[in-house]
A and B are shown apart, each in its own frame.
Chain A
Amino acid sequence: MEVLKNMWLWFLIWTIIGFCLSLLLFTTKTKNFWIEVKKTFRKRWKILLPLSIVYGLGAALIWHFMG
């Protein structure tokens, strides 16, 4: 459990979670859902990555300094 106290690990975890959730949110729900997810990833990663980095950083900072 010691390793989980590392703020940067939490930053990484929340960035990945934030990226996945926002990718799903950006995806139009169709029958070929996972093909659509791949298309959205290729098209929108440039906007989703900075957004999820800010999300991960915010969550990790709050967790680290207030937790």
Chain B
Amino acid sequence: MATWMKALVVALAAVVGLVPAFAQVSAAQAVQEASATLPVGDELSDEELSQTDGEGFWFTILPLVTAIAPATAYCIKEAVEGRAPRWQTALALLGWGFVYAATVLYAKSKIDADKTIQDIIPFQYRTLPPENAARWRF
């Protein structure tokens, strides 16, 4: 196997391990730095809670599908054409899929954090220019 292939596989494996870890830390920091007070409301009853749409399953399955799809398609295509799939290629495609899924989740967490902060800033402060609005502490 060529040296660059080994390097690519090792680099992808490293990135797959590191990107989600950094993504979670950054999202948590984004929320903390806003130092905003969340509105206090009533707790949901058990019945109401059971009627809410759970997103945990959705956000577990979709990134996995995104990550696994190219490697699976590659293996199927090679099998259909009567060749044995190369594990290096399958691993590289798998790594690339995980990198993409982690990037999309990171982008979503950043947007959601910004949106949450925007939602709880009182309306009158939203109309101020950003440089003035940044001085307000809630």
Contact = CB atoms under 8 A, between A and B. Distances in A.
A62 B104 contact: no
Interface residues on B, range: 20 to 34
Interface stretch (B20-28, B38-46, B57-65, B117-125): B57-65
Contacts, number: 66
B74 A30 contact: no
A9 interface: no
A66 interface: yes
Nearest to A4: B77
Contacts of A47: 107, 111
Question: Taking chain A's interface residues, is the majority helix, strand, or loop, or is none over half, making it mixed?
Answer: helix
Contacts of B105: 25
Contact of A51 (B59, B65, B69, B103): B103
B100 A66 contact: no
Interface residues of A, number: 25
A8 interface: no
A66 B108 contact: no
Given A22-B104, A29-B58, A55-B100, A62 B66 contact: no
A66 B88 contact: yes
B89 A26 contact: no
Interface of A: 1, 4, 14, 17-18, 21-22, 24-26, 28-31, 44, 47, 51, 54-55, 58-59, 62-63, 66-67
Closest 6 A-B residue pairs measured CB to CB? Answer: A66-B89, A55-B100, A59-B70, A22-B104, A21-B66, A29-B53
